[in-house]
């Protein structure tokens, strides 16, 4: 689908004020846009395929095999298993010029299986993972952008190096800090990350979200017969429960910006046996490096106190870490101009009707698909933050100049980390949004490759503004390792059934065609 021709792209460019530094020429950007348009079918196939794989964190084996296969066929060198993570990889191309990192997340979420293209909730495989955050669209966008930028760079002899990488287990916030620790971004000059949304834009400065520590507390006690000799036992579950009670008491006296949540992942075997082992998994979220660490240490202290009170012992291991997000101003301003140049996808009446049906079926706020690009997000326009979610792209943002571009592949009002966010993610809405995002990324890559001053300004902002007084300070120790065992058991159980639903683009034009779903399906209740 061609969003803009080269001619209209040139006219649009003329109407968009350029930043102070020079940019790649209008003709180069028009070529990149045309190259992405030529890959629209590939984008659709990638978006649909990754949706069908629906792999959760650390189990993205099929997804990674599929994406790296496409890149390898197009001249990229693949390095697998980076940072000690089996599903992590890099794909590199080019010689000389700036090194530009391009990434997006690839993991799904547990229990969010959803049949795409129907407005109501309908699991594809009951209890299986699904793309309830839309991560199936991000790396297809990045791959298309990289292939388009590469074509233009080769044709015109533009120097530059590309390094593509996947966000593995982002929903667990469990890998990017390890990428950084392993030196994956050493020598990178500029970094572009993408994330799905319903709008199209980027931002700079402190993004107002929370950083986070993911930590597991393991309590050890002594088993005994719960009826015959309970006095001989020491319940590890008592330690877990006392920690949770104490933490909930402490909440009243914590800053309002903090967020903390937990699940008991092991509470024992059966009621008549005093549990000798019990485990609780916590997320501690705060806005600054020092307050994240302080919240984490508070949790550690409470765990140790609970162990002493119950006659048990406790150990802990960090499963993941996410730094607060901070976008690079010069890169964001350059990218925003390209986003405005590309503009929003041209939604059809069918697209709008499907979006309304999805909102109606799930009792969500009615809001049409957006038709205008939003303004760049800045500290002034965002206002004061009271905390919230986390994204481990922050670890890369505090390592090299980085921005996040949000692209419009989903429907407004859908709930994040929820099955509703999977409904549209293998429909024309997702495909069009990824194509638009790929154009903006490819154009920004060309800006970076052809404009040394942009690279210099990005690094100056990173050094003299972002990190002048605040330094990257994760809680990871040298002993902490990626939690690559997570989700292994559930995928071993679920994958045989999920494989029946893998998309076959050689046989079917789209995944909806394979599933026999007419677009747009507007029925708002499941058939009885």
Q: Which domains does the chain have, with CATH numbers?
A: 26-206+324-515 (3.40.630.10), 211-321 (3.30.70.360)
CA–CA separation, 137 vs 245, rounded Å? 40
Residue burial 401-429, b: 16+ Cβ < 10 Å; e: rest: bbbbbbbbbbbbbbeeebbbbbbbbbbbb
Question: What does the block give as tokens for 251?
Answer: 């909440």
Question: What does the block give as tokens for 146?
Answer: 């990289």
Strands 99-105 and 190-197: parallel
Q: Length of the chain, please?
A: 528
Of 437, 441, 438, 408, residue with least CA distance to 424: 408
C-beta separation of 277 from 236 below 8 A: yes
Backbone angles phi, psi at 130, to 5 degrees: -160, 170
CA–CA separation, 163 vs 455, rounded Å? 16
Question: Which residues of the chain fall below pLDDT 70?
Answer: 1-22
State the DSSP code for 453: H
In the block, residue with structure tokens 């044709």: 155
C-beta separation of 131 from 425 below 8 A: yes
CA–CA separation, 105 vs 167, rounded Å? 4
According to the model, what pLDDT value does residue 7 have? 40
pLDDT tens profile 319-361: 999 999 999 999 999 999 999 999 999 999 999 999 999 999 9
C-beta separation of 138 from 176 below 8 A: no
- List % helix, strand, coil for the chain (3-state, nearest 5): 40, 15, 40
- Which ranges of 226-376 does DSSP label H, i.e. alpha helix? 236-250, 289-310, 329-342, 349-361
According to the model, what pLDDT value does residue 14 have? 46
Query: According to the 3-state scheme, what is the secondary structure of 254-295?
Result: CCCCCEEEEEEEECCCCCCECCCEEEEEEEEEECCHHHHHHH
According to the model, what pLDDT value does residue 435 have? 98
CA dihedral 88, 94, 96, 97 (to 10 degrees): -80
**216: β partners:** 281, 317
Backbone angles phi, psi at 352, to 5 degrees: -65, -40
According to the model, what pLDDT value does residue 527 have? 86
Q: 197 in helix, strand or coil? A: strand
According to the model, what pLDDT value does residue 384 have? 82
CA–CA separation, 129 vs 491, rounded Å? 9
Secondary structure element (H or E) that encloses residue 208, with its range: none
Q: How many Cβ atoms sit within 10 Å of the Cβ of residue 203?
A: 25
C-beta separation of 87 from 53 below 8 A: no
Question: What does the block give as tokens for 283?
Answer: 């997320």
Q: 234 in helix, strand or coil? A: strand
CA–CA separation, 363 vs 286, rounded Å? 31
Q: How many Cβ atoms sit within 10 Å of the Cβ of residue 453?
A: 12
According to the model, what pLDDT value does residue 361 have? 98
According to the model, what pLDDT value does residue 367 have? 98
CA–CA separation, 149 vs 160, rounded Å? 10
Residues 6+ apart with CB under 8 A from 235: 221, 268, 274, 275, 278, 310, 312
- What's the Cα-to-Cα distance from 408 to each of 128, 134, 279, 366, 430, rounded to whole Å? 26, 11, 39, 17, 7
Question: What does the block give as tokens for 416?
Answer: 């994040």
Residues 6+ apart with CB under 8 A from 228: none
How large is the angle between the packed helices 138-156 and 428-450, nearest 10 degrees? 40
C-beta separation of 268 from 237 below 8 A: yes
Q: How many Cβ atoms sit within 10 Å of the Cβ of residue 147?
A: 23
The verdict on whether omega for the bond into residue 520 sits within 30 degrees of 0, i.e. cis, is yes
**77: β partners:** 92
CA–CA separation, 385 vs 24, rounded Å? 35
C-beta separation of 413 from 364 below 8 A: yes
CA–CA separation, 385 vs 257, rounded Å? 8
pLDDT tens profile 397-445: 999 999 999 999 999 999 999 999 999 999 999 999 999 999 999 999 9
């Amino acid at each position: 689908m061609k969003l803009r021709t080269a001619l209209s792209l040139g006219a649009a460019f003329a109407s968009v004020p350029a930043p102070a530094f020079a940019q790649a020429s209008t003709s180069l950007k028009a070529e990149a846009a045309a190259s992405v348009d030529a890959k629209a079918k590939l984008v659709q196939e990638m978006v649909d395929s990754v949706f069908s794989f629906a792999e959760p964190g650390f189990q993205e084996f099929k997804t990674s095999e599929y994406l790296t296969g496409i890149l390898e066929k197009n001249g990229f060198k693949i390095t697998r298993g980076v940072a000690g993570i089996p599903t992590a990889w890099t794909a590199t191309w080019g010689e000389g010029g700036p090194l530009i990192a391009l990434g997006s997340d690839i993991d799904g979420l547990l229990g969010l299986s959803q049949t795409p293209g129907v407005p109501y909730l309908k699991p594809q495989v009951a209890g299986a993972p699904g793309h309830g955050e839309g991560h199936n669209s991000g790396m297809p966008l990045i791959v298309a952008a990289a292939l388009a930028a590469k074509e233009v760079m080769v044709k015109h002899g533009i120097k530059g190096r590309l390094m593509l990488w996947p966000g593995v287990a982002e929903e667990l916030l469990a890998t990017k800090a390890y990428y950084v620790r392993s030196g994956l971004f050493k020598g990178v000059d500029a970094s572009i990350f993408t994330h799905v949304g319903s709008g199209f834009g980027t931002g700079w400065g402190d993004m107002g979200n929370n950083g986070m520590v993911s930590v597991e507390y393991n309590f050890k006690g002594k088993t005994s017969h719960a009826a015959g000799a309970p006095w001989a036992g020491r319940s590890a579950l008592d330690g877990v429960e006392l920690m949770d009670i104490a933490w909930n008491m402490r909440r009243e006296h914590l800053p309002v910006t903090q967020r903390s949540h937990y699940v008991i992942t092991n509470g024992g075997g059966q009621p008549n046996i005093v549990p000798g082992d019990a485990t609780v998994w916590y997320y501690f979220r705060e806005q600054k490096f020092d307050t994240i660490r302080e919240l984490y240490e508070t949790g550690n202290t409470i765990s140790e106190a609970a162990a002493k009170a119950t006659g048990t012992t406790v150990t802990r291991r960090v499963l993941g870490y996410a730094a607060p997000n901070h976008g690079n101003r010069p890169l964001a301003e350059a990218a925003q101009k390209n986003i405005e140049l590309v503009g929003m996808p041209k939604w059809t009446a069918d697209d709008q009707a499907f979006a309304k049906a999805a909102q109606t079926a799930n009792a969500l706020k009615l809001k049409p698909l957006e038709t205008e690009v939003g303004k760049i997000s800045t500290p002034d326009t965002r206002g004061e933050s009271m905390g919230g979610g986390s994204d481990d792209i922050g670890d890369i943002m505090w390592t090299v100049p980085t921005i996040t571009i949000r692209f419009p592949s989903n429907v407004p009002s859908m709930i994040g980390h929820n099955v509703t966010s999977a409904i549209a993610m293998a429909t024309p809405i997702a495909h069009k949004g990824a194509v638009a995002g790929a154009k903006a990324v490819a154009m920004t890559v060309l800006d970076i490759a052809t404009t040394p001053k942009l690279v210099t300004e990005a690094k100056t902002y990173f050094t003299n503004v972002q990190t002048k007084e605040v330094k990257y300070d994760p809680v990871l120790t040298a002993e902490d390792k990626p939690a690559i065992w997570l989700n292994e058991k559930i995928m071993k159980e679920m994958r045989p059934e999920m494989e029946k639903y893998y998309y076959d683009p050689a046989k079917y034009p789209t995944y909806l065609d394979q599933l026999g779903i007419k677009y747009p399906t507007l029925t708002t209740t499941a058939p009885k």
